[in-house]
Amino acid sequence: MDFSPSRALAIDNLNQFLENNLFEYSKLRNFDFGPNNRSNISCLSPYITHGIISELELIKKSLSKFSFIKNEKFIQEILWRTYWKGWLELRPSVWTDYLSELKKISKEFKDSTNYKSAIEGNTNVECFNEWVKELKERNYLHNHARMWFASIWIFTLNLPWQLGAEFFMKHLYDGDAAANTLGWRWVAGIQTPGKNYLASEWNIKKFTNNRFQNIKLNEEAKPIFSDKIYSVIDRNFDNPKILEEKTLLIFENNLSFEISDFNNKKFKKIILISNKSENRAIVLSENVMKFKSQLIEDQKKRLEEKSISCEIIDLTEIQNINEDTYGLYPTVGENLDYINLNKLKIEFLYRKLDQFSWQYCNKGFFNFKNYIPKIITTFN
């Protein structure tokens, strides 16, 4: 799969998937046929993560092709990310605690041969080694492979989940603070206390079409225990009733202003924010940073084609802006951390989808799933 850093090519990929592969998605989605055969899945997550394509755009296009009943699994997978983000917005200290734990654990495992073998793909588990290679070279993994990978990392290689989550964030094009952190917590058995996900030999062989041998795993491991309890906090996601003609900041999660809820508003100018790796708690790979940079440049080009005044600045330069600004909300993660740490005054603008959906993220996904038809009806 070629992840071209362009909205135009992302839309082409979307249309091809809807036309040729959506019909059998529910039946084939759990199969990992290898990096050269991804026709059974959409591979659109890197674009959704950066706001190149929106969840609603994707859902509307899929519903124009097939009914909700035939599309249900695909739509659920799209909204998993929306749910994860909302869940973390209501419990943001999960992210800050994770970074604190990661900092401590990184020092402890700095010289660990077991850890080095894992990140170099030099373990006794063949499939795991192949996924390490794929992750580093292609910056993507099938969702099922991510679950297997995390389970092997935690329960067979006996490595901290925090380091595994960091490894994913470092290399994935679709790395996202919410989906990644909470996904690893879920595999470990922390997100749903006492219920972990254990990869098994038969499951890997079945859903990879027997591509791998030598799969000796710990299939009886107990869940990781955590005594931390995170209560839902009260959050206000209201937008200003009247938008004044101010400068608008756009972060790396909203890189398609032309399809945003605010594309009909008049802003003084638009500033696209680039967050360099040295500003981040988790240092990203060269490939991932290049991908983000190219997506930002693509947004700039599209804005300029519409004669919208814009420029690109580094995250650290926001402090030099001597005027009141709006910002498309960057969600819990590295960009928001920097803003909060430096007490920067930015009036955030929230997406309508998030404002409506996040109220249903106070419990588990199965509860959230009950509201998906209501969410779709509201916006379709």
pLDDT score, position 2: 79
pLDDT in tens, the chain (380 residues): 779 999 999 999 999 999 999 999 999 999 999 999 999 999 999 999 999 999 999 999 999 999 999 999 999 999 999 999 999 999 999 999 999 999 999 999 999 999 999 999 999 999 999 999 999 999 999 999 999 999 999 999 999 999 999 999 999 999 999 999 999 999 999 999 999 999 999 999 999 999 998 899 999 999 999 999 999 999 999 999 889 999 999 999 999 999 999 999 999 999 999 999 999 999 999 999 999 999 999 999 999 999 998 999 999 999 999 899 999 999 999 999 999 999 999 999 999 999 999 999 999 999 999 999 999 999 97
Contact 62, 380 (CB under 8 A): no
Using DSSP's 3-state secondary structure scheme, residue 346 falls into strand
- Tell the burial category of 170 from Cβ atoms under 10 Å away from its Cβ (0-12, 13-18, 19+): buried
Contact 168, 135 (CB under 8 A): yes
Bridge partners for 349 per DSSP: 328
Q: Under 8 Å CB-to-CB from 194, ≥6 apart: which residues?
A: 223
What is the C-alpha to C-alpha distance for residues 269 and 304, in angstroms, rounded to an integer? 11
pLDDT score, position 214: 82
Contact 160, 32 (CB under 8 A): no
CATH code that applies to domain 7-89+358-379: 1.25.40.80
**What distances in angstroms separate CA 262 from CA 27, 89, 259, 274, one per listed residue?**
38, 21, 8, 21
- Tell the burial category of 278 from Cβ atoms under 10 Å away from its Cβ (0-12, 13-18, 19+): exposed
Per-domain residue ranges of the chain: 7-89+358-379, 93-207, 247-349
Contact 291, 312 (CB under 8 A): no
Chain-centroid distance of CA 94 in Å reads: 16
pLDDT score, position 305: 96
Contact 17, 42 (CB under 8 A): yes
**Residue 86, amino acid:** G
Q: Fold for domain 247-349?
A: Rossmann fold (3.40.50)
Q: Under 8 Å CB-to-CB from 267, ≥6 apart: which residues?
A: 243, 245, 246, 247, 248, 326
Quote the DSSP letter at residue 197: -
- Tell the burial category of 229 from Cβ atoms under 10 Å away from its Cβ (0-12, 13-18, 19+): exposed
pLDDT score, position 61: 96
Contact 200, 155 (CB under 8 A): no
- Tell the burial category of 33 from Cβ atoms under 10 Å away from its Cβ (0-12, 13-18, 19+): middle
Using DSSP's 3-state secondary structure scheme, residue 40 falls into coil
Q: Under 8 Å CB-to-CB from 107, ≥6 apart: which residues?
A: none
pLDDT score, position 213: 85
Domain 93-207, classified CATH 3.20.20.150, yes or no: no
Write down the H helix ranges in the chain. 7-20, 25-28, 45-49, 55-63, 68-89, 93-108, 113-119, 126-138, 143-151, 161-171, 177-188, 201-207, 286-305, 334-341, 352-357, 365-369, 372-379
Bridge partners for 250 per DSSP: 272
